[in-house]
């Protein structure tokens, strides 16, 4: 059952996440990478998305005891995951938002939903791709940007994912 909780970053985690978000922005601009699914690829809004994405990954990695794996990929790799064994962190900018999942994403991932709004980081829970990627979850809140938008009610508590990760001895 879904049990959201606030995650409070250490100063080191905050610094590492900010450094990673800025690194991603620099690399994306240098290599002229387009924003995913129509998202901005340059400017303050793009940087903001890179910063919160990196912060969401740090929060989940820290909670699951996987910080040594965070930010392992220095280049975006289509179909890769953020954390082992197959965890994808989806970070939104509004607490009330549903978890976005791309239509063409890999169907073997576990998705964790994080929101960061007004500097408050909330880890909401997780689910599997088969539960997330259902036709009834497809929405198009912005024209030409359809995706799955997963309701929080189908998320599992993070404590159950922590048990899975611990059992794998990562």
Cα–Cα distance between 156 and 111 in angstroms, integer? Answer: 10
Share of the chain above pLDDT 90, in %: 74
156: which DSSP letter? B
Q: Which of 43-57, 72-86, 113-127 has the largest mean confidence?
A: 113-127
The pLDDT value given to residue 39: 65
Q: Per-residue pLDDT for 91 more than 70?
A: yes
Res 59: pLDDT: 98
Comparing 39-43, 112-116, 129-133, which segment has the lowest mean pLDDT?
39-43
Q: Which of the residue ranges 53-67, 70-84, 129-143 would you say has the lowest mean pLDDT?
A: 70-84
pTM above 0.85, yes or no: yes
- pLDDT in the model for residue 79: 81
Cis peptide before 85 (omega within 30 of 0): yes
pLDDT tens digits, 152-169: 999 999 999 999 999 998
| Joined tokens for residue 22 | 């800025």
Specify the pLDDT at position 110.
Answer: 97
CA of 136: how far to CAs of 78, 139, 147, 148, 152, in Å? 25, 8, 11, 8, 14
């Amino acid at each position: 059952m879904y049990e959201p909780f606030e995650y409070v970053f250490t100063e080191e985690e905050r610094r590492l996440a900010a450094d990673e978000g800025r690194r991603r922005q620099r690399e994306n601009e240098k290599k002229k990478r387009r924003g995913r699914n129509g998202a901005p690829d340059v400017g303050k809004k793009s940087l903001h998305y890179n910063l919160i994405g990196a912060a969401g990954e740090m929060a989940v990695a820290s909670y699951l005891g996987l910080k040594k794996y965070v930010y392992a990929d220095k280049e975006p790799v289509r179909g890769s995951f953020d954390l082992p064994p197959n965890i994808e962190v989806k970070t939104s900018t509004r607490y009330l938002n549903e978890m976005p999942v791309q239509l063409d994403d890999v169907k073997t991932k576990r998705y964790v939903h994080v929101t960061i709004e007004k500097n408050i980081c909330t880890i909401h829970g997780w689910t599997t791709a088969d539960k997330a990627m259902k036709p009834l979850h497809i929405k198009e809140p912005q024209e030409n940007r359809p995706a799955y938008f997963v309701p929080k009610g189908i998320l599992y508590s993070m404590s159950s994912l922590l048990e899975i990760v611990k059992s794998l001895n990562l």
